[in-house]
């Protein structure tokens, strides 16, 4: 009896195509592949950037040229040819838009397919959406409402034009150009991204969110996000990704910088569902992201991520706990299926006294995938009474997948309390049996168990995302029990 | 922070060490691949993951002087009834060889074993590491004398073996090689003791290679008590057959600069490994324990426990890896590492790793770093104990989980060394 006959459900779901795999035909203003100083000058010129920005990019490019692509992560992939990538692509219709009706109808349809109805978003959920199609932000809503509070929420290109002093002061201060290979590349060629500034003492009244989408074939996407929360302010930021199906690998090397000044709080949530490649690992997005936040005195940064997509993930959202009494949190669910590979985790750098950090990481491996947690907890010599708790659990669904844990714990202060624990186990057959016996299907049972397993993390997501994330987890793992 | 040695620097070190070992007396031929590996491998740097926290550039300056005087040091744990063998700087200086003939037990120096029973050593006595790690290659390129324990299938070695390796005063290099082979369903117990004088300098680059047959049992206690400024590299490799049981307990009583690489390969089903260790560096000392267990076959078990304290300006490193290979189902592997930081400028680097390629496993690791419980200290003080006595008791309690597994003589000795070094006795 063949596997398909034995388990028709499993067969159906393992052959299931990527749900969000579609492309939009819009004429794009696109550069020929290749990277050199000319390309960077062109990107900068197209975006009408000031001279200091161009110089910054060129410096980054020179640094990048002297760097080597890192290979320490527990992932195996064919390194992209950086000269075969087009570094700029923008939808052509760039008329200033006053209302949503003026948006290209095809673009509107894409948004609808993605499930983002701008009107609905506006009317019902109170979410301001900055929609990035390829590299240029095409529609921004709720801006006026935010402007009343002095909150700036716009695309990076717009911020460079309209708030150059803020960008210049903060850009690259958390993730320096030289930080790593991908941050240097991003600094040289980033085309757009989001910029957010929350003034002193204000509390952002709505969840800010951005949907990114790689659209044009063969174009890399290099977003740059900068989020500044002034003293005593609060903001919750959501980032969600889906990408269309492609046969060639697409590179995504983003940089996210968060700055939480004294007593500020930033909550940054991500649902990542880039195209993971087909069942044999063909195609799929390379997700090489540098995300880092810096906390001043009593500030708090909380990263929450649900990672279900990408062929290769290389991502370590980190917190530098610089100020006394600052808090860093990291909650992550990473699901890998088929031939996906993920090496993800966090870094908690304790520099100030009485700093606290919490790490909860839940990995789920299915198919032939490899899922690694890699995390650093560093307690500096001056970080008195620092406290860290880390918990990294792995759930294995098949005997062909792998789950790995690589924690680094570096303590240089005798008053520190650092705890780390990790477990690896298989999805419980008795649990599945119990659910089946109660009349649930196998799919429902797995969905229930996995959602329960990841509950600690999912509960940290804002309401709008939690629903989507739960759905994603179940979809990603359907038919994956070996 | 990484420092890279130039090829000429480490080639010169290799030449100095090999020459010194050769002139003092080598035992057996260099391992064929090792000499070539010294060139191809390159000297470890902090850029390499396995050497991230361990700087070995300081070893480049090791320059051994004239051969060591071969006088036997005073006996250690004299109360212990054992087959005793003493080595000084890689040379055999005393002990009664037990030789029951070609089919019986043999316990004696490797030099004698090689002369009498070369065929009994052939198949298993070299590990791959001689071609994979620079310092292991250096050791294998100029091996010196150590203890050899050969227990044929079905035999039980009645008395424990105590091999004592001593580094005399002065700048010396020693590369002892200890070989242990336990046949199917056989068993043995051994203590490998290494010590130095307070005036000893140089390098101790020691290897232990052990093969444990199906259903066999080996219990090994490793004690490292080296008050001088000797740099110690340990390469401890164990291969286990089906249903075998291995217990390795390592006590680093005192070490100026020490790196232990412990590697266990479970090469059969239902193997059981226990490996515990403790360390307590103070002053500017550096202690690094790297462990790795490979569960290559189903139904294996392992239990790892390393506990340590870092005082003053010392640095302690723990890196433990549990590797579960594909199809090695139903593995139960536990690892725990607990550390106390006592010094304002002490540092602790821990990296407990899990690498798992099979799904029906139960693996976990836990790692903590903290300090003495102030309430416990207060409680003891309030009962009239001095601060010294209270600290001493708390250290004893903290390390008891590891030290209680040793023989009482060794446990008491190691604890007395700790207490004396920290001024708590």
Cβ–Cβ of A413/B341 closer than 8 Å?
A: yes
For testing contact with chain A, the best of B356, B363, B364, B371 (most A CBs within 10 A): B356
User: What is the DSSP secondary structure assignment for residue A105, as one 8-state letter?
Assistant: H
**Closest residue in B to A387 (Cα–Cα):** B370
Residue B102 located in a structural domain = yes
Q: Could you give the CA distance from residue A262 to residue B318 in angstroms, rounded to a whole number? A: 36
Choose among A408, A411, A482: nearest Cβ to B341: A411
Mean pLDDT, rounded, for B163-180:
94
Q: What pLDDT, on the 0 to 100 scale, is given for residue A9?
A: 47
Residues with Cβ < 8 Å from A248, sequence gap 6 or more? A217, A218, A283
Q: Could you give the CA distance from residue A223 to residue A186 in angstroms, rounded to a whole number? A: 7
Domain total for chain B?
Answer: 2
Burial class (CB in 10 A: 0-12, 13-18, 19+), A32: exposed
Identify the residue with better confidence: B303 or A467: B303
Which of chain A's residues have a Cβ under 8 Å away from the Cβ of B359?
Answer: 396-399, 401, 426, 482
Cβ–Cβ of B49/A401 closer than 8 Å?
A: no
Which of chain A's residues have a Cβ under 8 Å away from the Cβ of B325?
Answer: none
Which of chain A's residues have a Cβ under 8 Å away from the Cβ of B349?
Answer: 408-411
Average pLDDT score, chain B: 92
Size of interface A-B (CB pairs under 8 A): 121
B2 pLDDT above the threshold of 60: no
Which of chain B's residues have a Cβ under 8 Å away from the Cβ of A396?
Answer: 356, 358-359, 361
Alpha helices in B25-77 (DSSP H): 32-41
| Residues A170, A149 contacting (CB under 8 angstroms) | no
Mean pLDDT, rounded, for A292-301:
97
Cβ–Cβ of B359/A401 closer than 8 Å?
A: yes
Choose among A401, A409, A421: nearest Cβ to B350: A409
Q: Could you give the CA distance from residue A305 to residue B112 in angstroms, rounded to a whole number? A: 63
Same-domain check for residues B264 and B378: no
Q: What pLDDT, on the 0 to 100 scale, is given for residue A128?
A: 52
Q: What pLDDT, on the 0 to 100 scale, is given for residue B3?
A: 57
* Percent of chain A with pLDDT strictly greater than 70: 77
Q: What pLDDT, on the 0 to 100 scale, is given for residue A33?
A: 83
A397 pLDDT above the threshold of 80: yes
Q: Where are the domains of chain A?
A: 3-477
Q: Report pLDDT digits (tens) over A82-131.
A: 888 888 776 554 444 445 555 556 555 555 555 554 554 443 334 455 55
Per-residue pLDDT band for A191 (boundaries 50, 70, 90) equals confident
Q: Could you give the CA distance from residue B132 to residue B281 in angstroms, rounded to a whole number? A: 28
Mark which residues 383-402 of A lie under 8 Å from B by CB.
394, 396-402
Q: How much helix, strand and coil, in percent to the nearest 5, is found in chain A?
A: 25, 35, 40
Q: What pLDDT, on the 0 to 100 scale, is given for residue A122?
A: 43
Mark which residues 226-255 of A lie under 8 Å from B by CB.
none
Same-domain check for residues B261 and B406: no
A420 touches chain B (CB under 8 A): yes
Cβ–Cβ of A420/B353 closer than 8 Å?
A: no
Cβ–Cβ of A426/B350 closer than 8 Å?
A: no
Q: What pLDDT, on the 0 to 100 scale, is given for residue B425?
A: 55
Same-domain check for residues B59 and B205: yes
Q: What pLDDT, on the 0 to 100 scale, is given for residue A130?
A: 54
Q: Report pLDDT digits (tens) over A370-391.
A: 999 999 999 999 999 999 999 9
Per-residue pLDDT band for A406 (boundaries 50, 70, 90) equals very high
Per-residue pLDDT band for A19 (boundaries 50, 70, 90) equals low
Residue B321 located in a structural domain = no
Query: Please, what sign has the CA dihedral across residues A37, A38, A39, A43?
Result: positive
Which of chain A's residues have a Cβ under 8 Å away from the Cβ of B342?
Answer: 414
Same-domain check for residues B378 and B260: no
A430 touches chain B (CB under 8 A): no
* Percent of chain B with pLDDT strictly greater than 90: 74
- Give the residue from B268, B287, B308 where a domain finishes: B268
| Highest mean pLDDT pick, A218-227, B62-71, B141-150 | B141-150
Structure tokens at B324: 């579960």
Cβ–Cβ of A416/B370 closer than 8 Å?
A: yes
Per-residue pLDDT band for A259 (boundaries 50, 70, 90) equals very high
Cβ–Cβ of B349/A399 closer than 8 Å?
A: no
User: What does the DSSP assignment read for A141-187?
Assistant: -SHHHHHHTT-EEEEHHHHHHH-HHHHHHHTTSSS-GGG-HHHHHHH
Host domain of residue B125: 7-268
Alpha helices in B84-239 (DSSP H): 110-116, 118-122, 134-141
- Give the residue from B219, B234, B268 where a domain finishes: B268
A13 pLDDT above the threshold of 50: no
Q: What pLDDT, on the 0 to 100 scale, is given for residue A142?
A: 65
> What residues form DSSP beta bridges with A237?
A208, A268
Average pLDDT score, chain A: 81
Q: Report pLDDT digits (tens) over B253-284.
A: 999 999 999 999 999 999 999 999 999 999 99
A414 touches chain B (CB under 8 A): yes
| Residues A234, A265 contacting (CB under 8 angstroms) | yes
Q: Could you give the CA distance from residue B17 to residue B34 in angstroms, rounded to a whole number? A: 14
Which of chain B's residues have a Cβ under 8 Å away from the Cβ of A426?
Answer: 359-361
Residue B82 located in a structural domain = yes
Entry pTM: 0.87
B interface residues, A as partner, C-beta within 8 Å: 49, 326-327, 329, 339, 341-371
ipTM computed for the complex: 0.87
| Residues A334, A309 contacting (CB under 8 angstroms) | no
Per-residue pLDDT band for B33 (boundaries 50, 70, 90) equals confident
């Amino acid at each position: 009896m063949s596997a398909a006959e034995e388990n028709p459900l499993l067969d159906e779901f393992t052959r299931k195509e990527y749900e969000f795999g579609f492309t939009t035909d819009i004429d794009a203003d696109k550069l020929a592949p290749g990277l050199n100083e000319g390309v960077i000058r062109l990107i900068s010129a197209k975006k009408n950037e000031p001279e200091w920005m161009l110089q910054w990019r060129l410096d980054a490019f020179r640094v990048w040229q002297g760097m080597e692509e890192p290979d320490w992560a527990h992932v195996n992939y064919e390194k992209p040819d950086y000269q075969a990538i087009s570094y700029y692509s923008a939808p052509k219709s760039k008329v200033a838009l006053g209302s949503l009706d003026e948006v290209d109808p095809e673009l509107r349809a894409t948004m609808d397919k993605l499930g983002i109805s701008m009107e609905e978003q506006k009317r019902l959920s109170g979410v301001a959406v900055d929609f990035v199609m390829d590299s240029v932000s095409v529609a921004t809503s709720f801006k006026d409402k935010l402007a009343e509070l002095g909150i700036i929420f716009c695309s990076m290109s717009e911020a460079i034009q309209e708030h150059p002093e803020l960008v210049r002061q903060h850009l690259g201060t958390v993730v320096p150009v030289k930080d790593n290979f991908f941050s240097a590349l991003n600094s040289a060629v980033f085309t757009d991204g989001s910029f957010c500034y929350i003034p002193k003492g204000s509390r952002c009244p709505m969840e800010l969110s951005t949907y990114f989408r790689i659209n044009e074939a063969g174009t890399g996407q290099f977003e740059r996000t900068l989020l500044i929360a002034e003293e005593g302010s609060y903001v919750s930021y959501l980032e969600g990704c889906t990408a269309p199906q492609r046969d060639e690998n697409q590179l995504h090397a983003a940089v996210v910088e968060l700055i939480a000044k004294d007593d500020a709080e930033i909550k940054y949530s991500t649902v990542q569902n880039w195209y993971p490649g087909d069942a044999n690992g063909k195609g799929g997005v390379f997700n090489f992201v540098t995300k880092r936040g810096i906390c001043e005195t009593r500030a708090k940064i909380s990263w929450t991520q649900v990672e279900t997509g990408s062929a290769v993930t290389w991502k370590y959202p980190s917190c530098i706990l610089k100020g006394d009494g600052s808090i860093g949190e990291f909650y992550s669910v990473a699901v890998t299926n088929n031939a996906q590979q993920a090496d993800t985790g966090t870094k908690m750098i304790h520099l100030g006294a009485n700093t606290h950090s919490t790490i909860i990481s839940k990995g789920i491996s299915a198919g032939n995938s490899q899922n690694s947690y890699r995390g650093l907890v560093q307690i500096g010599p001056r970080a008195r009474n620092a406290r860290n708790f880390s918990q990294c659990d792995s759930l294995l669904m098949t005997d062909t997948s792998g789950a790995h844990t690589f924690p680094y714990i570096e303590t240089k202060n005798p008053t520190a309390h650092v705890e780390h624990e990790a477990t690896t186990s298989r999805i419980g057959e008795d649990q599945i049996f119990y659910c089946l016996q109660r009349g649930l299907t196998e799919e429902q049972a797995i969905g229930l168990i996995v959602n329960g397993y990841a509950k600690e993390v999912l509960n940290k997501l804002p309401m709008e995302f939690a629903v989507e994330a739960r759905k994603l987890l179940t979809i990603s793992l359907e038919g994956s029990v070996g | 922070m990484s420092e890279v040695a130039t090829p000429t620097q480490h080639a010169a070190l290799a030449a100095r060490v090999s020459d010194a070992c050769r002139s003092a007396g080598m035992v057996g031929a260099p391992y064929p691949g090792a000499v070539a590996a010294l060139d191809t491998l390159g000297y470890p740097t902090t850029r390499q993951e396995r050497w991230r926290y361990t700087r070995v550039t300081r070893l480049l300056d090791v320059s051994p002087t004239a051969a060591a005087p071969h006088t036997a040091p005073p006996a250690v744990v004299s109360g212990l009834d054992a087959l005793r063998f003493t080595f000084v700087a890689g040379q055999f200086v005393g002990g009664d060889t037990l030789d029951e003939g070609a089919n019986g037990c043999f316990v004696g120096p490797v030099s004698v074993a090689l002369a009498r029973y070369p065929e009994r050593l052939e198949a298993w006595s070299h590990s791959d590491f001689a071609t994979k790690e620079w310092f292991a290659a250096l050791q294998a390129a100029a091996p010196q004398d150590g203890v050899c324990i050969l227990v044929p299938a079905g035999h039980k070695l009645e008395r424990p073996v105590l091999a004592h390796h001593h580094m005399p005063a002065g700048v010396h290099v020693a590369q002892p090689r200890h070989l242990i082979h336990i046949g199917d369903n056989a068993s043995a117990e051994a203590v490998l003791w290494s010590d130095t004088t307070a005036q000893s300098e140089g390098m101790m680059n020691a290897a232990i290679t052990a093969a444990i047959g199906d259903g066999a049992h080996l219990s090994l206690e490793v004690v490292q008590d080296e008050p001088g400024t000797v740099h110690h590299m340990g390469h401890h490799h164990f291969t286990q057959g089906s249903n075998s049981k291995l217990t390795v307990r390592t006590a680093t009583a005192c070490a100026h600069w020490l790196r232990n690489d412990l590697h266990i390969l479970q090469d059969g089903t239902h193997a059981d490994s226990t490996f515990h260790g403790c360390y307590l560096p103070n002053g500017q000392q550096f202690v690094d324990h790297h462990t790795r267990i490979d569960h290559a076959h189903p139904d294996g078990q392992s239990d790892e426990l390393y506990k340590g304290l870092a005082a003053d300006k010392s640095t302690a490193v723990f890196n433990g890896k549990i590797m579960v290979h594909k199809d090695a189902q139903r593995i139960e592997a536990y690892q725990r590492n607990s550390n106390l930081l006592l010094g304002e400028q002490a540092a602790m680097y821990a990296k407990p790793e899990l690498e798992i390629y099979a799904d029906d496993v139960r693996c976990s690791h836990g790692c903590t770093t903290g300090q003495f419980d102030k309430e416990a200290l207060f409680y003891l003080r309030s009962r009239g104990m001095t601060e010294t006595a209270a600290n001493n008791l708390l250290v004893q309690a903290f390390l008891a989980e590891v030290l209680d597994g040793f023989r009482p003589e060794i446990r008491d000795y190691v604890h007395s060394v700790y207490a004396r070094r920290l001024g708590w006795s």
